[in-house]
C-alpha cells in the first residue's frame, strides 16, 4: 500500500457500511466501532442506550492511489440515506446518525465538496454530521466482518444484501476483482 490513509464515517448500522466498503478496490481494512461521542471505552450495550453520544462507525484504511477519499465518501454517501436524522431504515437513535469524522482539514474540505455536489440527488436536505475525529473505539469482535461471517442472517438478507446489490449496480468498476 503506497498511499495509505484512514477515513472514519457512519451511516446507520456499522454492519451495513462495513459490508459495502470492504468490497471496494483499494480498501486494506474496515473496522467497526464507535466514535463521535464523549463516553470513554463504550460498549455495544451502552451505545444502544443512545446516551453515549457515539455513533456506530467504521474506520477504513485505504490506498488513496487506488481509491481517493472523494470517491470513498461518494460511495458512502450514496450507499445510505444521508437525509434522515438519527435513523437508517428501522434503526433509530443518535447512534445510527449519518456522520463523517474527518482526520484533517483536507478531508473536511473534500467531504463538504462531496455533500455539496450530491445535495440535489436527494429529495430532502443532507443532514450528515461533519466533525473532527477525536477518538475511535473498535467494537466487540462479534461485530467485525459481520456480513461476511453471517450472510444468511435475517438482517443481512433484508437490509445489507440490497445495499451490496446497489453497490454492484452503480460501482461495479470500483469493486475488488474477486467480488465483482
Structurally, the chain folds into a number of domains equal to 1
156 included as an active-site residue: no
Domain extent for 97: 4-174
The pTM of the full predicted model, rounded to 2 decimals, is: 0.95
Q: Is 174 exposed, middle or buried (0-12, 13-18, 19+ CB in 10 A)?
A: buried
Asked whether the beta carbons of 132 and 105 are under 8 A apart, the reply is no
Asked whether the beta carbons of 101 and 132 are under 8 A apart, the reply is yes
* pLDDT (tens digit per residue) in 89-142: 889 999 999 999 999 999 999 999 999 999 999 999 999 999 999 999 999 999
In a domain, 180, yes or no: no
List per-residue pLDDT tens for the chain, 180 residues long: 689 999 999 999 999 999 999 999 999 999 999 999 999 999 999 999 999 999 999 999 999 999 999 999 999 999 999 999 999 988 999 999 999 999 999 999 999 999 999 999 999 999 999 999 999 999 999 999 999 999 999 999 999 999 999 999 999 999 998 764
Residues 13, 16, 48, 156: which is the catalytic one? 13
Q: Which is nearest to 67 in space by CA: 14, 110, 5?
A: 5
In a domain, 87, yes or no: yes
CATH number of the domain bearing residue 148: 3.30.1060.10
Amino acid at each position: 500500500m503506497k498511499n495509505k490513509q484512514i477515513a472514519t464515517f457512519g451511516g446507520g448500522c456499522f454492519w451495513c457500511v462495513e459490508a459495502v466498503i470492504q468490497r471496494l478496490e483499494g480498501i486494506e481494512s474496515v473496522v467497526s466501532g464507535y466514535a463521535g461521542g464523549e463516553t470513554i471505552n463504550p460498549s455495544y450495550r451502552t451505545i444502544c442506550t443512545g446516551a453515549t453520544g457515539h455513533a456506530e462507525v467504521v474506520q477504513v484504511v485505504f490506498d488513496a492511489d487506488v481509491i481517493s477519499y472523494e470517491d470513498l465518501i461518494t460511495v458512502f454517501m450514496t450507499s445510505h440515506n444521508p437525509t434522515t436524522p438519527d435513523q437508517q431504515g428501522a434503526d433509530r437513535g443518535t447512534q445510527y446518525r449519518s456522520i463523517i469524522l474527518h482526520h484533517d482539514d483536507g478531508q473536511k474540505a473534500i467531504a463538504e465538496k462531496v455533500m455539496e455536489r450530491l445535495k440535489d440527488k436527494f429529495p430532502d436536505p443532507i443532514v450528515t454530521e461533519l466533525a473532527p475525529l477525536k477518538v475511535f473505539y473498535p467494537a466487540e469482535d462479534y461485530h467485525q466482518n459481520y456480513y461476511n461471517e453471517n450472510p444468511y442472517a435475517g438482517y443481512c438478507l433484508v437490509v445489507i444484501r440490497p445495499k451490496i446489490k446497489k453497490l454492484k449496480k452503480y460501482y461495479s468498476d470500483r469493486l475488488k476483482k474477486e467480488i465483482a
